[in-house]
Each structure stands twice: as C-alpha cells, then as structure tokens.
Amino acid sequence: MVDVGENAPDFTLLSDKGTNVSLSNYRGRKVVLYFYPKDGTPGCTKEAQEFRNLAHEFTKENAVIIGVSKDSVKSHQKFIEKHNLPFTLLSDPEGKVLDLYGVWKQKSMYGRTFMGTERTTFLIDEEGKVKNVYRKVKVKGHAQTCLLDLRT
C-alpha cells in the first residue's frame, strides 16, 4: 500500500487516447491520481464532474488530473465524451496498478462480499512524492478538498 511520504510507484497504462502514459511523464507537475470503480455509475460520474468543474483551477496550481479504473479504453472514451471531461483516464483492465497502489480491496454490499476498487485519491508532488492520500472517498466536495490541499 502506497502512503504519504513515499515515492509514487511509476507505471504505464493505456490512455483514453489509445497511447501509453506513464506517471513519470508528469514529473515537474503535481498529479491528482484518482482511482474509481466504474465509468458511468452515479458516484463515479459525480466525482468526474466535480473534477471537471474545477479542472481550470487545478491547471493554475500546475496540477494534472488522472483517473484510473479497470474500464476499457473504449468505455473511457464514451465517458469522457458524454461528460466533457478535460483530463486523462487510464485503463487498468488487469488491475496491476490498482494492486500496486493498494486500492483493489475486498468490499461488501447487501451481505455479498466481492473484490473491487476502493475509491482513493493520491496527491503527488512535482518530484513524485505522495503528499496526501484519501481513502474510501466520499464524492461530494472531494475535488474541492484536493484543490485546497494542493494549495497548502
């Protein structure tokens, strides 16, 4: 599990544009790396919309927003188009990066236990160090919290 003060593990995944993107490509910029369960679900849509609505403010802070889920590139493309998302979504269908960051967890709903993505965000500084970790994120107001923490 990745924690505050550690170097954010580098990885390379396929982006919504169909190109390989590595975390190390963003050295010199702050990164909001958020993991979410599934494109198009109510909570994930709300979270993406909140980041979208504040995207220009993150840009002013020299920060990029990157979302990661197990969804396919095609699913990400539809999600971006439908909600006019101005940031990159990465596809991790095998869950390797989800495992690397410790966000692939056992969850339960209605008495049923299953494996799934725990909604988690990592704020990473320009040198690649993890500055904040938000686990079990509650969507409402989360993007604003991330923005405020980037500014301090």
Q: Out of 21, 44, 48, 98, which one is annotated catalytic?
A: 44
- Which residues are CB-contacts of 133 (< 8 A; sequence separation ≥ 6)? 2, 3, 4, 120, 121, 122, 123
Backbone angles phi, psi at 93, to 5 degrees: -60, -30
Is 44 a residue of the active site? Answer: yes
Q: CA 51: distance to chain centroid? A: 10
Residues 52, 83: contact at Cβ < 8 Å? yes
Task: Specify the pairing of strand 88-91 against strand 63-69.
Answer: parallel
H/E stretch holding 26: none
Side chain identity, residue 24:
S
Q: What ranges in 84-138 are assigned the alpha helix state H?
A: 96-100
Active site amino acids:
44
